[in-house]
Amino acid sequence: MAPGLLDLVHLTTWAVCAVIKLPQVVAVLKAGSAWGLSVTSLLLELAGFLVFLRYQIYYNYPLETYLEYPIIIAQDAILLFCIMHFNGKMKRALFYALMYPLKTMRFVLCGLFAIS
């Protein structure tokens, strides 16, 4: 494929991915409710995107081949925070979002320094 055409395809893909979740986010914000949205489905989608992104990074694929995934992941995270906010679970979600990295860091530090 010609380099110019390939760049155009990449830009088009990134542009579409940049707005793919925006109508859903706008609808949730406008309605002031997350009724009808499945947290389980959103988390499953987010997990799939994160696994694929990690795979691409681990095997040193060119950035152009997976740049749309961080864009979609950011939009999914925004949508997830909207759902948590409108369901009244934002404080609980933030607590777990902050505690998980701290817990993980503790296990990493214990392993590095042989602290029990």
**pLDDT number for residue 111:** 52
State how many domains the chain has.
1
Task: Determine, yes or no, domain membership for 29.
Answer: yes
Backbone dihedral angles phi then psi of residue 65, each to the nearest 5 degrees = -80, -15
**pLDDT number for residue 3:** 79
Residue 29: give its domain's CATH number. Answer: 1.20.1280.290
**pLDDT number for residue 96:** 74
**pLDDT number for residue 25:** 92
Task: Determine, yes or no, domain membership for 112.
Answer: no
**Distance between CA atoms of residues 32 and 86, nearest Å:** 7
Task: Determine, yes or no, domain membership for 102.
Answer: no
**pLDDT number for residue 104:** 62
Task: Determine, yes or no, domain membership for 38.
Answer: yes
- Token look-up 């081949």 returns 65
**pLDDT number for residue 1:** 65
**pLDDT number for residue 106:** 62
The dihedral formed by the CA atoms of 60, 64, 65 and 71, expressed in degrees to the nearest 10: 110
| Mean pLDDT for back-to-back runs of 10 residues, the chain (116 residues) | 82 88 93 90 92 91 89 91 87 76 61 51
**pLDDT number for residue 10:** 81
Domain that holds residue 16: 3-89
Q: Determine contact, residues 14/44, Cβ cutoff 8 Å.
A: no
